[in-house]
Chain A
């Protein structure tokens, strides 16, 4: 009986000691490797956009459309919006994140760094040749059924997005119409659709904010 008790105590002591040392090690490592995500994002923005950040936008109760989310938004000193948007349409469990810079209502720059999709397939959606197709697009361009407006960009848009025009008084829809077709990349359909949705989400947020400012 005494031997049994001794054995149980040994097991408990050894396992507790291992757990405590592990916990201590992890605590120290956490302290050493913790990163300020907000600062890291600002540093990344400063790498891709030369203008300084003026202020951060409080996203507050902004209603995202399905499968997309606005993670962070800033206004630069030149009044450009720097929006970090995320789309769930991706093979990565973390979704697909983009930094979209919008100036005067038009996409000025897109940064897709840090996304992990299948090399040679999903990654095609992050190549400049594809991302550059969105440069110069406005919210209206993405929500018009007049495809001739975008023909020269090699982009075909079939109308299907919601209408969130603040001035129109329409109730914002949170569903993306399934009819959307936007020149997705063969072999990278899901990832390129994710890029489209993330860019659209950023433009929609811009439109929403500018409408509110008006």
Chain B
């Protein structure tokens, strides 16, 4: 049986939705023109993911198998609209910045993917932990993308202009093409680090077994 802490850890590293599973690419490329946008999008998605995973896990024995996808979509759409309403009322700047991409969380394959592959087959607690892990992994990836793109593309961080960098900013990084560049480079770096960490872990385990 998988440990509870491993469920969360897997979502952030081993099954990172952005860098490992390459899911949710549309918001990853579209909204990460700044760190703030990346964090906001990540948190909005995490909220929807946690709520939908919990409810779908609760209803897993009630929802008929044949209509599970429309039922999941209905539940996910409800939580997305809740997020949209809250952002519009209390955080209008973020609501304006994310625009259409808040509504598009409904069709984010990370959420439907976790509902279908995890929440519909696991307990409520495990499903909630999985959502926390995957959500944290997605938020971390979006934040990293936003950081790199805003730093290189606009020469600023959290809209704070960095004196020397802002004068030689490479605009391409905040344009769609730069999004692909940043995504590709970060994916390579992330996967290399994970691979090395896994190899090190494996070597340690082998040494332990030899002794």
Which A residues form the contact surface with B (CB < 8 A)?
7, 10-11, 14-15, 18-19, 22, 25-26, 29-30, 32-35, 92-94, 114-116, 118-121, 187
Chain B residues within 8 Å of A11, by CB: 64, 66-67
Nearest to B155 among chain A residues (CB) is A120
Chain A residues within 8 Å of B150, by CB: 119-120
Q: Evaluate contact between A15 and B74: CB separation under 8 angstroms.
A: yes
Q: Evaluate contact between A14 and B89: CB separation under 8 angstroms.
A: no
Q: Evaluate contact between A35 and B154: CB separation under 8 angstroms.
A: no
Q: Evaluate contact between B159 and A119: CB separation under 8 angstroms.
A: yes
Q: Residues of B within 8 Å of A, CB-based: how many?
A: 38
B86 touches A (CB below 8 Å): yes
Total A-B Cβ pairs within 8 A: 85
Which B residues form the contact surface with A (CB < 8 A)?
33-34, 37, 59, 62-64, 66-67, 70-71, 74-75, 77-78, 81-82, 85-86, 88-90, 92-93, 96-97, 99-100, 150, 153-156, 159, 169, 171, 174-175
Nearest to B81 among chain A residues (CB) is A26
Q: Is the interface of B mostly helix, strand, loop or mixed?
A: helix
Chain A residues within 8 Å of B89, by CB: 32-35
Chain B residues within 8 Å of A34, by CB: 89
Report how far A32 CA is from B174 CA in the complex, Å: 36
Chain A residues within 8 Å of B82, by CB: 25-26, 29
Nearest to B87 among chain A residues (CB) is A33
Q: Evaluate contact between A119 and B34: CB separation under 8 angstroms.
A: yes
